[in-house]
Amino acid sequence: MSLLRLEDVTRTVIPPDQPALTILSGVNLTIEPGDHVSIVGRSGSGKSTLLNLLGLLDLPTSGVISFDDRPVKSYSSARRDRLRGASIGFVFQQFNLLAGRTALENVTMPLLYSSGRTFWQRKRIAAEMLELVGLGHRLNSMPDRLSGGEQQRVAIARSLVRGPRLILADEPTGALDLDTGQSVMELIDDVAERTGAAQVVITHDPMIARRARRHFRLDRGILTPVDDPAFEPLTRREMREMAPVEPSGDAAEDEADVLDMFADDRRES
Short-list 141, 175, 142, CA closest to 156: 175
Q: Report the C-alpha gap between 187 and 225 in whole angstroms.
A: 26
**3-state SS, residue 177:** coil
> Tell me: the pLDDT tens digits for 32-79?
999 999 999 888 889 889 999 999 999 999 999 999 999 999 999 999
Short-list 134, 132, 155, 125, CA closest to 143: 155
Predicted pLDDT at 179: 78
Q: Report the C-alpha gap between 28 and 38 in whole angstroms.
A: 15
Q: Report the C-alpha gap between 123 and 127 in whole angstroms.
A: 6
Q: Report the C-alpha gap between 231 and 201 in whole angstroms.
A: 13
- Does the pTM surpass 0.85? The reply is no
Residue 49 near residue 24 (C-beta atoms within 8 A): yes
Q: Report the C-alpha gap between 233 and 211 in whole angstroms.
A: 6
Residue 191 near residue 259 (C-beta atoms within 8 A): yes
**Topology of 34-47+77-268 in CATH?**
Rossmann fold (3.40.50)
Mean pLDDT throughout 197-226? Answer: 91
Q: Mean pLDDT check: name the lowest of 181-195, 211-225, 239-253.
A: 239-253
What is the rounded average pLDDT for all residues in the chain? 84
pLDDT score of 14 more than 60: yes
